[in-house]
Amino acid sequence: MRYCYLLFFVLFTALVSAESYRGFLLTKDGFQLTGYLNVLQYAPGGNIITFTNDFGDEYHIHPFLVSGFGFNYQGESMRFVSRQHEGMWYFLQEEVRGKSISLFRLPRGGGRWVDDSMLRLFTVPPPEYYLEYGQGEFLAVPRSGYKRNLRDFLAEASPGLAKKIGSKGYRYRDLHAIIVEFNERSSRKRRRL
C-alpha cells in the first residue's frame, strides 16, 4: 500500500512540473505553428524547447530549426528568438525591443517552464545578456568586462551615454534602462535630421 502512495506522489509531482503553456513556434519561413510549450532545457549544444502541437505530437525543438517562439506566462507575453553565439544555439528572451538596439536575455530558472540545471555543467557559462543591432548583428554582454565592452560599443553612436557606463544607474543590472535610453536618444537624433 505504501508503494501505491509513493507511485501516486511521483506521478503527481511529474504532472505538476510538466505544466504546458499555450503558444506558438515561428518557423524559418515565417509560419506560426500553434500548440503548447512545455519546458525549455539546456543541452550541450545550447538549449531546446519541448513543444506539443495541436494534434498532440510532442517535439524537442532545437533553436537552429525555428526563428523563435512565444507564449503567455502569468499574464505576461514572453517572446524568444533563436540566435547562435560561439558555436552554440540559444533561445533568447526579448527584454527590450528598439529601433536601434534590442536587448535579449538567456532564460534562467525563474519560472516552472525553464530547466537550467544543465547550466551548472558548463565550464564557461554563456553570458546572460545580448544586444542585437544593425542588420541582425549580435553582441554578447558578459558580466565581467561589461563596462569596457559597452563603452566601446556605444562610444561612436552616443559618447555621452558611453561615459556614464559604470556609474550609479548605469551598471550591469541597469542594462534595460541603458538600452531604453540609447534608443530614445537615437530616435531624437533622427527627428532633428
* pLDDT tens per residue, range 120-139: 777 777 888 999 998 878 88
More confident residue, 5 or 83: 83
Q: What is the pLDDT of residue 77?
A: 85
Contact between 84 and 45 under an 8 Å Cβ cutoff? The reply is: no
How does residue 72 score in pLDDT terms, banded at 50, 70 and 90? confident
Share of the chain above pLDDT 90, in %: 42
Q: What is the pLDDT of residue 181?
A: 92
DSSP state of 175: H
Residue with cell 503567455: 72
Q: What is the pLDDT of residue 110?
A: 65
How does residue 41 score in pLDDT terms, banded at 50, 70 and 90? confident
How does residue 39 score in pLDDT terms, banded at 50, 70 and 90? confident
- pLDDT(18) > 80: no
pTM value?
0.77
Paired with 69 in beta bridges are 25, 80
- pLDDT(112) > 80: no
Mean pLDDT over the full length of the chain:
82
- Of 22-31, 60-69, 71-80, 117-126, the poorest mean pLDDT is in 117-126
pLDDT (mean) for 23-51:
89
What's the rounded Cα separation, in Å, for the pair 103 and 151?
A: 16
Beta strands in the chain, from DSSP E residues, in sequence order: 21-27, 32-43, 46-53, 58-61, 66-73, 76-85, 88-96, 101-105, 114-115, 129-133, 137-141
Contact between 21 and 72 under an 8 Å Cβ cutoff? The reply is: yes
Strands 76-85 and 88-96: antiparallel
Q: Which of 88, 166, 173, 83 is nearest to 125 (CA)?
A: 88
Contact between 41 and 50 under an 8 Å Cβ cutoff? The reply is: yes
CATH 2.30.30, the chain: domain bounds? 1-69
What's the rounded Cα separation, in Å, for the pair 179 and 174?
A: 9
**Highest CATH level, class, for 1-69:** mainly beta
Length of the chain: 193
How does residue 13 score in pLDDT terms, banded at 50, 70 and 90? very low
What's the rounded Cα separation, in Å, for the pair 156 and 50?
A: 42
What's the rounded Cα separation, in Å, for the pair 88 and 102?
A: 20
* pLDDT tens per residue, range 154-174: 988 888 999 999 999 999 999
Paired with 96 in beta bridges are 103
What element of type H or E holds 90? strand 88-96
How far the first Cα of the chain sits from its last, in Å, is 78
